[in-house]
Amino acid sequence: MKFFKLLLLPFMGAVVAAAFLWPEPAKGFLGESSRIVFFHVPCAWTAALAFIVAAAYSVAWLLKREARFDDVAETAVRLGLLFAVLTLLSGSLFAKIMWGSYWNWDPRESSYLLLVFLYSAYLFLRAAVSDPERRARIGSAYAVFAAVLMPFLVFVAPRVTASLHPQTVINPQGKILMDTPTKTVFFAALAAFTGLFFWMLEIESRLARLGRERARSGQREAG
């Protein structure tokens, strides 16, 4: 495990360097703007993955009722929100260059904004419940319910209305429309962001667990 963590830093560095130096800018895009695909799409992928991980750990909490599963689920949602916000920011930069304004109410732009609202609501819901056991139960039920309906927001709703969004990765043909160097760097970036997410998840979950244990020992000393 430690070997993979040590490998991640040079791997991420190589991906960033390759993203700017190796593939040619894609045709049909202004200037170098197409290179954003190496950062924007992995952020979007990582956000969706984080919310799926949150749902999986929420199911684990519902089955086992162990607090550590709830720690991971909440941490995954927080990290998912971070990556979703990065997706929105990088998408806005691309939109400004390609379409002339930072926000265009493009269905896919809007679906990620709603995703941020959807999982911010998870944090609001948790914050409104003081009892830890009930907070975990309500949070887990909401996370699973939201994960069932999330595909309608991210994959289905944007297809009901017309979109300005480039269709290089998700398109009706079901093919990735990229040349070999672009595809290589793209998949390497997906792997690097996924690795980074799981590393951050491990550190943050450990911190959440320590915080919970410290709060519990503080209560015991006060009692």
Partner 1 sequence: MSRRLGFFARAWAVCAKDAAQELRRRVAIASIFFFAATALALVSYAVGPFGIPPESRSRLDASLLWVILFFSAATSLPRAFVREEETGTGLGLRKVAPGVVVLAGKALFNFLLFLAIAALSVPAFSVLLEWRVRSKAGLLAVILLGGWGLSIVSTFLSALVARAGQRNVLFLVVSFPLLVPLLLPAIASTIQASEGAVEGTPLRVLAAYDGAATCAAYLLAAVAWED
Q: How far is the CB of 145 from partner 1 (least distance, A)?
A: 5
Q: Which residue has the tokens 């991906």?
A: 15
Q: Give the nearest distance from C-beta 118 to partner 1 in angstroms.
A: 4
Residue with tokens 């040079």: 10
The answer to whether the CB of 46 falls within 8 A of the CB of 204 is no
Residue ranges in 117-156 that form contacts with partner 1 under rule CB under 8 A: 117-118, 121, 124-125, 128-130, 134, 137-138, 140-142, 144-146, 148-149, 152-153, 156
Closer to partner 1 at the Cβ: 67 or 138? 138
Determine if 162 is a binding residue for partner 1 (CB under 8 A): no
In this structure, the chain runs to a length of 223
85 forms part of the interface with partner 1 (CB under 8 A):
no
CA-wise closest residue to 108 among 54, 33, 47, 29: 47
- In angstroms, the CA 207 to CA 217 distance is 15
For partner 1, the closer CB: 75 or 140: 140
100, 138 in Cβ contact below 8 A?
no
| Secondary structure letter of residue 172 according to DSSP | T
Q: Per rule CB under 8 A, is residue 62 in the interface with partner 1?
A: yes
157 near partner 1 (CB under 8 A): yes
Q: Which of 5, 159, 214, 216 binds partner 1 (CB under 8 A)?
A: 159
The Cβ of residue 199 has, within 10 Å, a number of other Cβ atoms equal to: 15
Which CB atom, from 109 or from 188, has the smaller least distance to partner 1?
109
Q: Is 106 in a helix, a strand, or coil?
A: coil
For residue 42, give the nearest of 25, 24, 19, 76 by alpha carbon: 19
Q: Does 78 interact with partner 1 (rule: CB under 8 A)?
A: no
Binding site for partner 1 (CB under 8 A): 62, 114-115, 117-118, 121, 124-125, 128-130, 134, 137-138, 140-142, 144-146, 148-149, 152-153, 156-157, 159-161
